[in-house]
Amino acid sequence: MTNVQRGLAELVGTFWLVFGGCGSAVLAAAFPEVGIGLLGVSFAFGLTVLTMAYSIGHISGCHLNPAVTFGLWAGGRFAGKDIPLYVVAQVIGAVIAAWLLYCIASGAPGGYDLAGGLAANGFGEHSPGKFNLQSALAIEVVLTFMFVVIIMGSTDSRAPAGFAPIAIGLALTLIHLISIPVTNTSVNPARSTGPALIVGGWAISQLWLFWVAPIVGGVLGGIFYKALGADASKRPPVEGAPL
């Protein structure tokens, strides 16, 4: 695959993750009487990754997340020279999705009030459960660590073939079930950046945490899984990592 093809796959995949996941939160979570709630939003995020993993995993590896890209690099599954291509594509896809979501949400009677957050991530007063910075930092590091471990483990050549997208999608669902009340769940700097740029103000001022914590967690996860002794010679080629 060419770099253009891989970059476009990451852009479209991250677009789908943000549009589907954040879209479910903004448009459907609290819809009168038939809202999908936190459980529905959690499954929506998981389903975006599941569907994209099967659709573009063979093209770009379906990272959809700078923290995953850095984690796979730290774990020896991804070339460092390709990190800028992936991260830029992921952020662009996330921003386009957030902008389009805002345009759609604004078509409701009375428009859309950005004070609602557009599913942006936050801590303190902007955490759904008013959790503080320390809680937000801890949960984002821990959950991204586990996410990368699950990705690397399920895509190891010794793991059962063909089931990785299911494990990864369900892992992201579980992550959201745990942490939506704490930070609205990031574990993905690109996913956080899209809504933050649309909302502005507080969302941008708190965005640093949702870059630092997931990337730290992702890198630690990659290093940890590599330390478990996986045979690098049997891993998928860079172009196909992680799926």
Chain segment 169-222, per-residue pLDDT in tens: 999 999 999 999 999 999 999 999 999 999 999 999 999 999 999 999 999 999
Classify residue 29: in a domain, yes or no: yes
Q: Which domain holds residue 9?
A: 3-107+117-228
Classify residue 233: in a domain, yes or no: no
Is the previous residue joined to 242 through a cis bond, with omega within 30 degrees of 0? yes
Classify residue 241: in a domain, yes or no: no
d(CA 131, CA 138): 11
Residue 161 sits in a domain of what CATH number?
1.20.1080.10
Q: How confident is the model at residue 236 (pLDDT cuts 50, 70, 90)?
A: very low
Classify residue 234: in a domain, yes or no: no
Closest CA to 221 of 140, 137, 160: 140
Classify residue 14: in a domain, yes or no: yes
What's the mean pLDDT when you consider all of the chain? 92
Provide the domain count of the chain: 1
Classify residue 86: in a domain, yes or no: yes
pLDDT, one tens digit per residue, over 130-139 is 999 999 999 9
Question: CB-based burial of residue 70 (10 Å sphere; 0-12 exposed, 13-18 middle, 19+ buried)?
Answer: buried
Classify residue 237: in a domain, yes or no: no
Question: CB-based burial of residue 76 (10 Å sphere; 0-12 exposed, 13-18 middle, 19+ buried)?
Answer: middle
